[in-house]
């Protein structure tokens, strides 16, 4: 027969499992939003863009669930050390994922603004950047599920490559606008899309840093982030 302590431990484990599940669900929706927003942009699919905008509300709902559950766990279970770090990390990560969903929604909002009977050539390079950003989000969330500090570091190391990609696309888009003045308005929207993708990468990096702290109890160093030298 289970003791009261064993029952409490099982309830706590169930709640932590549910918290992880909610974060995973949020992350999956955010990844899907990025992919769908980029597909809508590439195909100028107004219906798909609208679906991305509507689906963002579901991410907001789950974020509220995470906040409620995390606060309840802290208040009623008084978790310590590793468990407390994981609950706090989940609470913060939920907010970051919600912002990632907002960036995907912002990309979708740009689709009607670049609609034209003539395809704008620079659109073709943006999906590759979108794929990089979505993969960083996916891998950061996998690191959270596995409490894998090394995988979290790997996500951070890839942020520089995404930043370099953004810088390259920015220069290309500005050059294209100068050479094709009639497209200035539409290409300006693509600049915003590229910036949103760059910010998604930054947020994936933030998630990875939170995961590293939750798993190790220490902050990720500049060296581990790849800011200087090699890791």
pLDDT tens-digit map of 93-139: 999 999 999 999 999 999 998 866 566 777 888 999 999 999 999 99
CATH of the domain at 215: 1.20.58.220
Instruction: Supply the pLDDT for residue 106.
Output: 97
Instruction: Supply the pLDDT for residue 80.
Output: 82
Instruction: Supply the pLDDT for residue 29.
Output: 96
Tokens of 14: 């169930």
Torsion of CA 140, 168, 176, 186, to 10 degrees: 20
End-to-end CA distance of the chain: 51
Task: Give domain status of residue 14, yes or no.
Answer: yes
Decide if 29 contacts 117 (C-beta within 8 A).
Answer: no
pLDDT per residue as tens digits for the range 62-102: 999 999 999 999 998 888 888 889 899 999 999 999 999 99
Distance CA 153, CA 79 (A): 26
Instruction: Supply the pLDDT for residue 69.
Output: 95
**Which string of b and e fits 32-45 if b means at least 16 CB within 10 Å?**
bbbbbbbbbbeebb
For residue 1, pLDDT over 70 is answered with: no
Tokens of 100: 């990632």
pLDDT band (50, 70, 90) for residue 50: very high
Host domain of residue 93: 4-225
Task: Give domain status of residue 182, yes or no.
Answer: yes
Decide if 190 contacts 126 (C-beta within 8 A).
Answer: yes
- Specify the DSSP class assigned to residue 114: G
Residues 6+ apart with CB under 8 A from 74: 84, 87, 88
Distance CA 212, CA 19 (A): 18
Task: Give domain status of residue 72, yes or no.
Answer: yes
Task: Give domain status of residue 34, yes or no.
Answer: yes
Domain count, the chain: 1
pLDDT per residue as tens digits for the range 18-41: 999 999 999 999 999 999 999 999
Q: At what angle do helices 126-146 and 184-216 cross, to 10 degrees?
A: 20
pLDDT per residue as tens digits for the range 155-179: 999 999 999 999 999 999 999 999 9
pLDDT band (50, 70, 90) for residue 230: very low
* Length, in residues, of the chain: 231
Task: Give domain status of residue 97, yes or no.
Answer: yes
Task: Give domain status of residue 230, yes or no.
Answer: no
Q: pTM of the entire structure?
A: 0.89
Task: Give domain status of residue 231, yes or no.
Answer: no
pLDDT band (50, 70, 90) for residue 226: low
Instruction: Supply the pLDDT for residue 139.
Output: 96
User: Around Cβ 48, how many Cβ atoms within 10 Å?
Assistant: 17
Distance CA 24, CA 26 (A): 5
Instruction: Supply the pLDDT for residue 223.
Output: 61
> Which one, of 167, 173, 213, lies nearest residue 191 by Cα?
173
For residue 7, pLDDT over 60 is answered with: no
Task: Give domain status of residue 10, yes or no.
Answer: yes
């Amino acid at each position: 027969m289970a003791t009261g302590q064993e029952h409490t431990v099982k309830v706590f484990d169930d709640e932590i499992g549910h918290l992880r599940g909610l974060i995973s669900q949020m992350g999956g929706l955010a990844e899907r939003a990025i992919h769908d927003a980029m597909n809508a942009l590439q195909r100028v699919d107004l219906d798909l863009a609208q679906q991305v905008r509507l689906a963002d509300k579901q991410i907001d709902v789950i974020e509220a669930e995470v906040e409620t559950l995390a606060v309840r766990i802290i208040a009623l279970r008084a978790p310590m050390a590793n468990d407390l770090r994981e609950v706090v990390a989940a609470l913060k990560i939920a907010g970051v994922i919600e912002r990632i969903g907002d960036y995907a929604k912002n990309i979708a909002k740009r689709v009607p603004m670049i609609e034209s009977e003539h395809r704008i050539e620079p659109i073709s390079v943006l999906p590759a950047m979108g794929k990089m950003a979505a993969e960083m989000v996916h891998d950061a969330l996998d690191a959270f599920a596995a409490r894998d500090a090394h995988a979290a570091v790997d996500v951070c190391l890839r942020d520089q490559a995404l930043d370099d990609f953004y810088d390259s696309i920015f220069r290309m888009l500005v050059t294209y606008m100068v050479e094709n003045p009639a497209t200035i308005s539409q290409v300006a929207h693509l600049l915003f899309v590229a910036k949103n993708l760059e910010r998604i990468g930054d947020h994936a990096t933030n998630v990875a840093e939170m995961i590293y702290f939750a798993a190790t109890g220490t902050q990720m160093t500049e060296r581990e982030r790849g800011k200087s030298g090699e890791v």
